[in-house]
């Protein structure tokens, strides 16, 4: 399952530009999938802002906010904000 999350996150990160990240439905869908695969409560991601390479701040439909990024070991992490 981890490989699937990492693959999804990397594919999303490679094709998304910082100026239109929040409006991109594919990014929102990918972030929703990443958070769900990590087993965290969210429902659906409604907003995502790119903070850096492989680093996004996302807001969920249920009000939860997460920083989704790759850590130093290359693992996808969703840190509650």
In the numeric block, which tokens belong to residue 47? 């907003």
Q: Give percent of the chain above pLDDT 90.
A: 67
The whole-angstrom distance between residue 17's C-alpha and the CA centroid of its chain comes to 14
Cβ neighbors of 1 (< 8 A, separation 6 or more) are 37
Domain parsing of the chain, residue ranges:
2-80
Query: Over the stretch 14-45, which tens digit does the pLDDT of each residue have?
Result: 554 444 445 689 999 999 999 999 999 999 99
Q: pTM of the full predicted structure? A: 0.72
Reported as type and span, the H/E element at residue 47 is: strand 45-52
């Amino acid at each position: 399952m981890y490989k699937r999350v990492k693959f999804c996150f990397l594919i999303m990160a490679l094709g998304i530009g910082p100026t239109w990240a929040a409006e991109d439905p594919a990014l929102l869908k990918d972030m929703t999938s990443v958070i769900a695969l990590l087993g965290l409560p969210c429902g659906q991601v409604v907003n995502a802002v790119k903070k850096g390479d492989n680093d996004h701040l996302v807001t969920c439909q249920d009000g939860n906010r997460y920083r989704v990024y790759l850590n130093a070991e290359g693992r996808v992490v969703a840190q509650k904000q």
